[in-house]
Amino acid sequence: MTGVNPGLCASCRHHRVVKGAQSDFWMCKRSALDARFPRYPRLPVLSCAGYEKSGPPPNPPDTRRSG
C-alpha cells in the first residue's frame, strides 16, 4: 500500500484497492452503476454523496423478552 491518503474512500464500503506495479489505485465500485462517481476518484476524497461506512450490517433488533 502506498502512502496516499484516500480520505473517505478508506472507510467506504464501495472502494476497492487495485494493485499496480508501482502504486495502488483506489477504485470506486459505484462508478460501474452511477456515472456521478469516477472510477478512480481524485484523492483524498473529502466529501462524497455515495459514501457508506464499511463494516458488518447492524445487528437485528433483540426480540428476546427479559424477565
Positive or negative, the CA dihedral 52, 17, 8, 34 is negative
Q: How far is the CB of 30 from ligand SF4 (least distance, A)?
A: 5
Smallest gap, in angstroms, from Cβ of residue 21 to ligand SF4? 22
**Residues 36-65 within binding reach of ligand SF4 (CB under 6 A):** 37, 41, 45, 48, 50-51
Looking at 2, 4, 9, 59, which residue binds ligand SF4 (CB under 6 A)? 9
Determine phi and psi for 29, rounding to 5 degrees: -70, -20
